[in-house]
Structure 1
Amino acid sequence: MQKEQANVLLLKEIAELLNEGTEMFAMLETALKKFLMGTNFETGWIFFIDEKGRTQLVTHVNLPEALSHNNCHYLKKGGCFCVSSYRNEKLDKASNIIACQRIESAIEANNGSSNAITHHATVPLQSGQERFGLLNVASPNTIRFTDAELALLESVAFQMGSAIKRIGLTQQAQEVALAQERNRLARDLHDSVNQLLFSVTLTARAGVEMSQDALIKETFKEIQQLTQDALTEMRALIWQLRPKGLETGLMEAIKAYAEIVGLTLNVTVSGVLQFPSRIEETLFRIAQEALNNVRKHAGVTEASIYITVTATDILLVVRDSGRGFDFDASEQLLSMGLQSIRDRAKEMGGTADWVSAIDKGTELLIRLPY
């Protein structure tokens, strides 16, 4: 009875943690730590598994050296019965796993102690019919866990699944609100500042035509040019806030944006461009920033873009033959534009890299999982 009361209290404390959490991975790590502290389980890790069966190690607690070696290399690579069962939809409750290739590979590599951990228990993380991944736990010198331990594991997994669903819905609501705010700002800029700049351009043009004084004419021409440049910047900003062209396709939107900022764009596509909306917008935003960098810093009016789609990845390359820059991948990026590109790629589980040198142009390489 005392043990049951302790378990109820533990689940209550974990539920409170999960209900308060707003950042997905930090929330799961905190809840997993609390669970391990209140049970006989010693270590645990969580995989997210997407619709295509790809695994992502999102958090882990108290891993032995053998499993944490080289940034958890052996947990991230290889196969396991739990993941295979999950992919085949044969895993619907907490279960003991008889053989784990990941743990076996880590032990065989002999890169540190395994703390006598040879087996683990697993349970799917889900909310209703929606599945998110797996929670795995283990203890030293333990091959099988009791029915009571597995029942407790199922209970905490249910709580985690509900919390993951809650945060997912919250993030969706935030994205909708952000899109609505972007649309509002874009409308306001178009209806106010954009129209004012256009009026100034017309006024300056009229001043050039009406004035007879050469110095005044030159001043009006400079005002006209500066206002035209500001108008181009404003239109580009409006497009960044609300990309109208995406409804006609990603490449059409990118081409239209290149035209707005005054770039001639050479396009090469390999594969079928059918992406989820979030990936499509990420690619568009990255291309926007890359083309902005070409226009502002490369000193050329032409760029090339390549998109290659494979069964697992999307590769986006933006290349120019402009003035280039000194780039050291080991140093922190100084440009906010470049950092923004890297952050957007990272949010989608991808990477962003550059190759550039003075007077030898710049090449941006984006790889996103698909």
Structure 2
Amino acid sequence: MKTIALSALGLVSLAGMAHADKTLNPVKIDPLLIDTEPYRFNGVVLTDEVRGSGFVAWNQRAFFTAAHVVSSLGGDDTEATLDWGLPPDWVPMNNSDTADTEATIPSRGYYRFKSYEALAEAQKAVNGSAFSRDVVLGFAFEDLIPGTPAVLNTNGYKDIRGNVTTMITGYPAVNFYTGEDIPGYFLHQTGPGITPYAVDFGRAMRTSLVTTGSGNSGGPLWVQKGASWVASGVLVGGLPSETIVYAFSPDVNALTKSVAPIVKPTPATPVSVGGVGATSFFFPMTKAKKIPDGVARYTDFRFNVSRFEEGAAVTKVHLNLDISTPHQGDLLVVLQGPGGVATIVHKEEGGDEDDLVIDDKDFSEAFSGIYANGPWTVRVQDRLKGDIATVNKIALEIGVDKASGTTTPTP
């Protein structure tokens, strides 16, 4: 079981609160409802140190959670620094004493608002300014839940200010109002009820008479529309007497637009969206190209990487490659990064074996510490005559642990 770390930006308990009934306290849901809406959209989000909640909305391969679930603040109050963690694990529709490891899906990355980092570092304590951008959109290369995702309500910031029925779901580990632990990974709901939210700071919205607990950070705020529930925000913080959510608005379209090319069945070229950052970017090539037969000259497939902060250093390089050929042994394949750093991907191995398929192979060590931005090239030669090789698909993943680019690369 993962440990629980209470982020400085997360939910904070008040010791010594009197025990009393509270409007919209977290209540464990009936297990028979786990496969129904909106409960089936929920999941546990696990990092090495933190347990959080999340939900699948907009796309089956994408989930929302709170930014502070995958980041942490270090340093003192005057020199706080934000570190972004590795992509977390997703555990769909969990409802048991332990997280279902057999159902766990490792996510591949997440996109975030760059402004969150500056807001979080400006004030280390709980504050509305950081909550106003406290959301990330994670993704995987497989469906995170069966069936359609939840509807994304980009008018959430307007809807929750009125007398509408709302509900928060997720996996709290503590009931902050009573101060009692909630063992296991059981899905809870806080509500439904009518509790209007008021603007706290930007898209951070606050209400009283709602309580939940650590572990529920990143869980969804639902708004009831007719017989349906629509995802209208993300739980980001609170106290026993109040709850704060990041409320969805058209701003969140910047995250979905960034992730959209990656989660397609056939990944497309990434788009550049202002104000959005990530720890990994993917660069695909899906237009088939024949390689000259028996010619001692490389055919180059070039990817111009410029998506990271200036000076960011490489920590992750993964390659997917699909080449049709009757003889693998004819092929020489090299991956080259900025500054000419290169590694051999395939060197005429395989003899008479056909088709060279490389599935998500890790070449991180060969490029660790070089600049992430710059030209990356997959170079292919067919060194023996007699048959034609065709490059069908390339997908290159470049990643950095710190999207802020604070590390010092080796040119």
Q: What TM-score results when the alignment is normalised by the length of structure 2?
A: 0.27
Higher RCO (Cα < 8 Å, 6 or more apart): 2
More strand by share: 2
Which structure: larger Rg?
A: 1
Q: What TM-score results when the alignment is normalised by the length of structure 1?
A: 0.29
